[in-house]
Structures are given as C-alpha cells and as structure tokens.
Amino acid sequence: MVPFIFNLTDKKILVAGGGAEAESLLVSFLGHDPKIKVISPACTENIKLFHRFGRIEFEQRWAEESDVDSSYYFVFAVTGDSEVDAETAAWARKAHVPVFVQNNSLLSDFVLERGEEGETSDFDKIKELLKTRRG
C-alpha cells in the first residue's frame, strides 16, 4: 500500500449503505465538497439531515448494478451485509472504479486512515457547515 491524498472537490462518490459507517464517511468527506450519492433502504438521522440540507443525494432503496458507473471517483460498500458489499464491489470493479468494502480488506482497493476514537472535530465542522447553509 502507498499512502495518497486526494482532492475530493466536485468528485462523485457513491456510498452503498446508510448506517454508522456511512455516516462516519460522510462526516469525513463533506468538508471537502465532493458530490456524494448515498443509496440505502434505511439511513441514520444525520444522513437524513445531510440530505435535507442538500449536502448529499439520497435514494432510499438497495443499490443496483446500474447505479455503479465509471463517472464515480470512489465507491464505498458499507451496508453491513457482507454479501451485498461483495456484490457492490464486483460492480465497481466492472466499472473500473476503486472500491472500499467495510470489514473486508481483500475486496477493497484501498484502506482508510481513521482519526482517534472519540474525535468529533470533523462532525463539529459539518454541523457548523449545515448551520451556515440554512441561510
């Protein structure tokens, strides 16, 4: 593995899943202004809030192969269901899009560096960003 830092501004990111792992990713990414689409049959209250304030797109359903295309910069398979995540990873590979699979480094094309447990600075930044966008 080689560490990289990516400029995510205006990059399309697909997140399959709407639970705590997806929320954690959104909190990390939203301050960098990517174009994020979350697809999940259910999601956390904070993900609903991010959608309500126009920070992400959200579709309440399971992801399908047709959702994953080469226009995405990254795909994150974080549904919590290992079979669904593996299927999403296969779709991403078919579309030649790097994929991260929750709890499966063998299916992931990259790993994520995480902050210390209990850090809230990114989340606080997002809450402030949402407050300023209420206008």
What gap in Å lies between CA 53 and CA 134, rounded to an integer?
7
What pLDDT is attached to residue 132?
Answer: 61
pLDDT in tens, 35-81: 999 999 999 999 999 999 999 999 999 999 999 999 999 999 999 99
What pLDDT is attached to residue 120?
Answer: 44
What residue ranges define each of the domains in the chain, with the CATH number in brackets? 12-112 (3.40.50.720)
Helix (H) or strand (E) holding 46: helix 45-52
**pLDDT, average across residues 2-7:** 78
**pLDDT, average across residues 20-42:** 95
What gap in Å lies between CA 7 and CA 44, rounded to an integer?
26
Tokens 């809230």 belong to which residue? 120
Whether this prediction's pTM lies above 0.95 is answered by no
What pLDDT is attached to residue 113?
Answer: 74
What pLDDT is attached to residue 5?
Answer: 80
What gap in Å lies between CA 56 and CA 40, rounded to an integer?
13
pLDDT in tens, 74-122: 999 999 999 999 999 999 999 999 999 999 999 999 988 765 544 444 5
What pLDDT is attached to residue 4?
Answer: 76
